[in-house]
Structure 1
């Protein structure tokens, strides 16, 4: 079954992508939840026209994301956490704290667009990936220090 996505869905596709999914997943979950519409020939024509009109706006947004990526690249952010004398953190540093650190520096990034390859459960330096646009990703360095 072909559908047109209305929102970004992790491990499936981005907004306005035409993807093929199993019939049950499309009919029973994606379409009733309002996450997708059925890709009929008329819906595809409307979708193509909308994409043509949106292409200029997308280019502008992508260029802005590239500029932000250039300023973010190579930057290091410090996050304080309560830790034991052995260097273990009580809890862990997560995307919420990284998003707050980015906001303090003037970068407005939603926490759902930040991902870490490994959990920060000890003091040290970690790498986080910030997704600014569907085609623009940048790795930043996160240093976890004791408070």
Structure 2
């Protein structure tokens, strides 16, 4: 099935790309979530509009992404969570909790979908978290998960 991506999908492409995917993946996930539209000759004409908008955003966002990266790398992010004995958490840390902790620590608003956690975080400790700010810029920061008092 041919589709046109309207948003960035990791491992698949960026907005405006025409990609071939399995039918079920396209019909049941990408199109209903708004990540893609079905490919048609009429929809293909919209690609230029999507790509021009993306190009304008990227040029403006590249410098901004580098600024955000430098501020994130100098940031100390601490996330208090409920934990039992031995530092085991009740549940696990979600990307939404991480973005909220970054905001509380004085960092910028981040998109939780661009966050790359190192697997499931189910115990207290320090974790290296990465975020894709731009196709060419990624930032890494240390997340300290501590038990609530």
Q: Settle same-fold status: TM greater than 0.5.
A: yes
Matching of residue 83 in structure 1 with residue 86 in structure 2:
no
| Gap runs ≥5 in structure 2 | none
- Structure having the higher strand fraction is 1
TM-score normalized with structure 2 length: 0.77
Residue 128 of structure 1 corresponds to: 129
CA RMSD of aligned residues (A): 2.7
Alignment map for 1:1-147 (pairs within 5 Å): 2-22=2-22, 24-25=23-24, 28-29=27-28, 33=32, 35-38=36-39, 40=41, 43-44=43-44, 46-48=46-48, 51-52=51-52, 54-104=54-104, 105-147=106-148
Counterpart contact for 2:72–2:107, Cα < 8 Å: no
When residues 142 and 26 of structure 1 are mapped into structure 2, their CA distance, relative to the original with a 3 A threshold, is closer
Deviation at 1:57, TM superposition (A): 3.2
Greater Cα radius of gyration, structure 1 or 2: 1
Deviation at 1:32, TM superposition (A): 5.9
| Gap runs ≥5 in structure 1 | none
Distance 1:115 1:31 in 2: 20
Paired residues in the alignment total 145
TM-score normalized with structure 1 length: 0.78
